[in-house]
Structure 1
Amino acid sequence: MGDVPSSQDSAIADATIVGSATPADLHIQSRNRHFSTAVIERRRWVGGDPYASAFFNALSVTFPKGETFFMKVLKQYRDEVPEKLAREIRGFVQQEAVHSREHLFFNKQIEQTDFDLTRLEQALTDVIDKIGNMPLIRQLVATTCLEHLTAIMAAEFIENPAHFRDADEEQRKMWLWHASEEVEHKGVAYDTWLHATRDWSPMKRWITQSAFMIRISLGFAKNRTKGIFDLLKQDGISGPRAWFGFAHYALVSPAPFRRTLGPWFLFFLPGFHPWNKDDRGLIQLAESEYEAAIMDSPEAPENITATGATMGERRKKKRLPKVA
């Protein structure tokens, strides 16, 4: 990879054609949330919707191994990047480690509702092993592409409350917390990619990242869809009912595939950088949502806002009893 004496300015200078750097005042921190005691109250935990539940369950299967892989890749660049980016990588690794931990707990909860995740996990392992056998720079661009996919989905999950409407309360909080941190570190892999390819021509960089994004996206869509239909079949839904039901969910309402298509295309534009859209407000929005349950706790701080208390009361009313 080579170590060129430089500051963050060198990465920014090289990035002028392909985008701006992560905001200087952004502090990436791990909130280290714990949801291990959160019980999935219903097998179809997303508002009783089998399609939404299958979608998020299949997505969750990817996180423990996938995020462990991302950490492994970026840590190999940590000692060779400018100091600011090195700090961001450390924050990224801390966040992803906690995400992996919490989704391991979540996935165990899925299995306890009588879903078999074996085939989904093996398919993921095969993909990660394949990418892991590539040269490190290709592992990095694959990580960069997957981090963009994760970030645009995370933003969509926070912006559109329809995704977790009537979902099990603890699981909704977990997903919003995870999404907020994905938004917060969305530029780290891309800035690492810019630094690692600082000696490349802008055209070579663009061709490489664009080709990988198409390849990664097709594989991601194919494998997640296959996993979703595996879970739907285990839930008693197959054939045309499964296809039409999931197509409506993915493309009509709440439409996670359709609504993230525009942000996906931005990756291919000249001057792209994940932080060209400053959506740090989504982090605060997500935190106001998943923190609201604290308002109901006897240990809640005294300076609770009226809005926070109202949100907590509203959620308490709609929380359903747990299934034995």
Structure 2
Amino acid sequence: MGDKSTYHNANSEEQAVTGSATPADLNIQSRNRHFSSAAIERRQWVGGDPYATAFFNALSLTFPKGETFFMRVLKQYRDEVPEKLRREISGFVQQEAVHSREHLFFNKQLTESGFDLSRLEKTLDTVLDHIGTMPLIKQLVATTCLEHLTAILAAELIANPNHFKDADAEQRKMWLWHASEEVEHKGVAYDTWLYATRDWSRAKRWLVKSLFMVRISLGFAKNRSKGVFDLLRQDGITGPRAWFGFLHYALVRPAPFRNTLWPWMQFLLPGFHPWNKDDRHLIQLAESEYEAAIMDKPQAPEIVAPVGDRRRGNRLRKVA
């Protein structure tokens, strides 16, 4: 598949003043999809591949609490940014709330199928608790870095069909839907960071975000790999078999780590902005994969359940 991305020419210095370099015709809003009835048909639901399955299962475990953290941080800036960015933060919050809700159901299925997620949850809690003790501006740059990691992985998952080849159909739709919205709101945290640091020098802004990206990325790779090996061990895959199998998956084929290395490095370049690369075609591509299954279903209103189990009283509230 050829790369159809174009360049939006988002100017980060101008962005720091105006508040948003997201394309003007891009409307960030939640599609409020529901996948709670999408059963995991096989324990190794990603085409029978234990390594791919463990990777996505470990990743899913991070979403409910991680995205709740991102929402909390950006909401604290919403009232002080320009109007366009304020609307984009509201759309971001709506999307992340629904992502959290759906991954709670996915993770619950993992637990019910016999996976012990407690050690992964403990590691995640430790990391988020630590970041939560930092000043708000550092929580924001951490959010910006993690959102970039999520966005480049999301783009890779949509662009490379090998990732979900032969995966359970309903789960494939759920992950593609999630990935499409991560691409759609990929500039919101970065725009907020630029606006919040608009009085900083370019050198200071670059140094702080670069050091945080290196630190966050090392921790992300370490903890997600630790989670993968924990889940593989629960399937009886340990030692060299686990290491070589996962390294082959991550770096050789379909190579999510290798294929996102250059997009990761671009974050460190002067003048970087997520929308310098305009890859909105990936949103349309992902939607073409999952839309057919839901287009005949009644659409829920643009209100979403609180981040948590919908069984707790069936209460609905607006999140933005």
Task: Decide: shared fold, TM above 0.5.
Answer: yes
Which residue does the alignment assign to 2:33? 33
User: Following the alignment from structure 2 to structure 1, what is the Cα–Cα distance between the partners of residues 169 and 122?
Assistant: 30
* SS of equivalent to 1:30: coil
* SS of equivalent to 1:194: helix
> Is the CA contact (8 Å cut-off) linking 2:88 and 2:188 kept in structure 1?
yes
User: Following the alignment from structure 1 to structure 2, what is the Cα–Cα distance between the partners of residues 294 and 104?
Assistant: 20
Which residue does the alignment assign to 2:104? 104
Give structure 2 stretches of 5+ with no counterpart.
Answer: 1-10, 299-320
Which residue does the alignment assign to 1:3? none
Residue deviations 1:109-154, cap 9 Å, x none? 1112111000001100000000000000000000000000000000
The percent identity for this pair of structures is 80
Which amino acid in the other structure matches residue 236 of structure 2? G
User: Following the alignment from structure 2 to structure 1, what is the Cα–Cα distance between the partners of residues 154 and 76?
Assistant: 26
1:216 equivalenced with 2:216 (yes/no): yes
Residue deviations 1:260-301, cap 9 Å, x none? 001000001111000000000000000000113247x6x69x
From the superposition, tell whether residues 12 and 83 of structure 1 become closer, same or farther in structure 2 (CA, over 3 Å): farther
Q: Which has the higher contact order (CA 8 A, sep 6+)?
A: 2
TM-score, length of structure 2 as denominator length: 0.87
> Is the CA contact (8 Å cut-off) linking 2:45 and 2:168 kept in structure 1?
yes
For the pair shown, the structure with the greater C-alpha radius of gyration is 1
User: Following the alignment from structure 2 to structure 1, what is the Cα–Cα distance between the partners of residues 33 and 140?
Assistant: 27
Which amino acid in the other structure matches residue 216 of structure 1? I
Which residue does the alignment assign to 1:89? 89
User: Following the alignment from structure 2 to structure 1, what is the Cα–Cα distance between the partners of residues 197 and 35?
Assistant: 38
Q: For this pair of structures, how many residues does the alignment match?
A: 287
1:70 equivalenced with 2:56 (yes/no): no
Runs of 4+ in structure 1 over 6 Å off? none
Deviation of 1:14 after TM superposition, in Å, equals 5.5
Which residue does the alignment assign to 1:132? 132
1:251-266 map, 5 Å: 251-266=251-266
Structure 1 range deviating more: 45-54 or 21-30: 21-30
Structure 1 vs Structure 2 CA RMSD = 1.7
Residue deviations 1:44-87, cap 9 Å, x none? 00000000000000000000000000000000000000000000
Deviation of 1:20 after TM superposition, in Å, equals 8.0
1:13 equivalenced with 2:14 (yes/no): yes
> Is the CA contact (8 Å cut-off) linking 1:63 and 1:99 kept in structure 2?
yes
Which amino acid in the other structure matches residue 13 of structure 1? E
Which residue does the alignment assign to 2:188? 188
Which amino acid in the other structure matches residue 35 of structure 2? F
User: Following the alignment from structure 1 to structure 2, what is the Cα–Cα distance between the partners of residues 242 and 133?
Assistant: 35
Give structure 1 stretches of 5+ with no counterpart.
Answer: 1-9, 301-324
User: Following the alignment from structure 2 to structure 1, what is the Cα–Cα distance between the partners of residues 107 and 261?
Assistant: 27
From the superposition, tell whether residues 82 and 20 of structure 1 become closer, same or farther in structure 2 (CA, over 3 Å): closer
Residue deviations 1:11-42, cap 9 Å, x none? 862549xx981112211010000011111000
Deviation of 1:216 after TM superposition, in Å, equals 0.1
User: Following the alignment from structure 1 to structure 2, what is the Cα–Cα distance between the partners of residues 56 and 198?
Assistant: 36
Residue deviations 1:187-206, cap 9 Å, x none? 00000000000000000000
Which amino acid in the other structure matches residue 256 of structure 1? P
Which residue does the alignment assign to 1:287? 287
1:23 equivalenced with 2:23 (yes/no): yes
User: Following the alignment from structure 2 to structure 1, what is the Cα–Cα distance between the partners of residues 24 and 170?
Assistant: 33
Which residue does the alignment assign to 1:278? 278
